[in-house]
Amino acid sequence: SQQGEEDPQALSIQEGENATMNCSYKTSINNLQWYRQNSGRGLVHLILIRSNEREKHSGRLRVTLDTSKKSSSLLITASRAADTASYFCATDASGTYKYIFGTGTRLKVLA
Amino acid sequence: ETGVTQTPRHLVMGMTNKKSLKCEQHLGHNAMYWYKQSAKKPLELMFVYNFKEQTENNSVPSRFSPECPNSSHLFLHLHTLQPEDSALYLCASSDGTSGDNEQFFGPGTRLTVL
């Protein structure tokens, strides 16, 4: 079964608004990462949160992790048109070098 | 040149062709990965190499053959592919020595199998 699942699958907002994406996973993890992908390009690492952390910030990004619910959320504040991309969460199920990615959330920020 | 590079960026091949995808990382990393990304599907891990040794083969058909001659280079040899193999193939690398494996991705090779 899929380790990471993001929701919503697609999100459309106006520039300046906040965007929230959620990720759920099924097994215990060591850490969870969020990546961004612009159309047809490689993924770019955004932020990593360890299993013993509950919240982390990086610029306009805020990530939370609830290991009891096996879920994480990514909040992008004051969104910009340049934030338009697909966002993926990735989890490592067993502390190996194997990360499982979800299907992603497609975010569109309208100028 | 920095980061992770992939060549070619686009490839069109027939089912009887043999071709290779190349990935090179300039980050001093020890782990390298091949992923397949098809439309509306999760990113699929294909192979993992750590210190040039293959540590993961995610039930990939034998028509895909990886090669890792050193920690900086990774190849994916393709032969007798099927149209359903058309996808974006992404290479990534990571430090490989720490538990926090942030992955750095290349731009991908868009493969079309006719």
The answer to which of A97-101, B12-16, B109-113 has the lowest mean pLDDT is: A97-101
Distance of CA B22 to the CA centre of its chain: 8
Counting Cβ atoms within 10 Å, is residue A107 exposed (0-12), middle (13-18) or buried (19+)? buried
Whether B40 contacts chain A with CB within 8 A: yes
| Ranges of chain A whose pLDDT falls below 50 | 1-2
Q: Give me the residue from B55, B102, B104 closest to A48, CB to CB.
A: B102
Whether B94 contacts chain A with CB within 8 A: yes
CB B90 within 8 A of CB B66: no
> Which chain A residues are within 8 Å of B92, Cβ to Cβ?
42-43
Counting Cβ atoms within 10 Å, is residue A103 exposed (0-12), middle (13-18) or buried (19+)? middle
In chain A, the DSSP E strands lie at 4-7, 10-14, 19-25, 31-37, 43-50, 55-58, 61-66, 71-76, 85-92, 99-101, 105-110
Of A79, A109, A83, nearest to A17 by C-alpha is A79
Model pLDDT for residues B52-94, shown as the tens digit of each residue = 788 777 789 999 999 999 989 999 999 999 999 999 999 999 9
> Which chain B residues are within 8 Å of A10, Cβ to Cβ?
none
pLDDT at B95: 87
Cβ contact, residue pair A2, B42, below 8 Å: yes
Whether A30 contacts chain B with CB within 8 A: yes
Whether B42 contacts chain A with CB within 8 A: yes
